[in-house]
Amino acid sequence: MANQVDVEAQSYRGTWIIYLIILIELATIVLLLIFYSQAEHKIEMGVATTIVDGMMALIFLFIFNLNLETRIDQY
């Protein structure tokens, strides 16, 4: 087995990209809540809001858990 030379790991945690995504998602949630409060059909709007919030949470968790690991070994 080769001797390990270098290992590097990168992720989006703590970067400005995560903060930008959080700000965009918070603005979207606030707009959805405003639309929900003014909607005539609360049940349909509640279902739509739940679906959109769930999709945003899944996408955020996917991006938050992305990792790039680079390993350079000696021959």
Number of domains in the chain: 1
Residue ranges making up the domain that contains 52:
4-73
Closest by CA position to 1, among listed 73, 55, 64, 72: 73
Give the pLDDT band of residue 1 (cuts 50, 70, 90): low
* Distance separating alpha carbons of residues 48 and 38, to the nearest angstrom: 14
pLDDT (tens digit per residue) in 10-67: 988 888 988 998 999 999 999 988 988 898 888 988 898 999 999 999 999 999 899 9
According to the model, what pLDDT value does residue 75 have?
A: 67
* Distance separating alpha carbons of residues 71 and 9, to the nearest angstrom: 9
| Residue in the block written with tokens 């059909």 | 41
What pTM does this model have? 0.72
Phi then psi for 52, rounded to 5 degrees? -65, -45
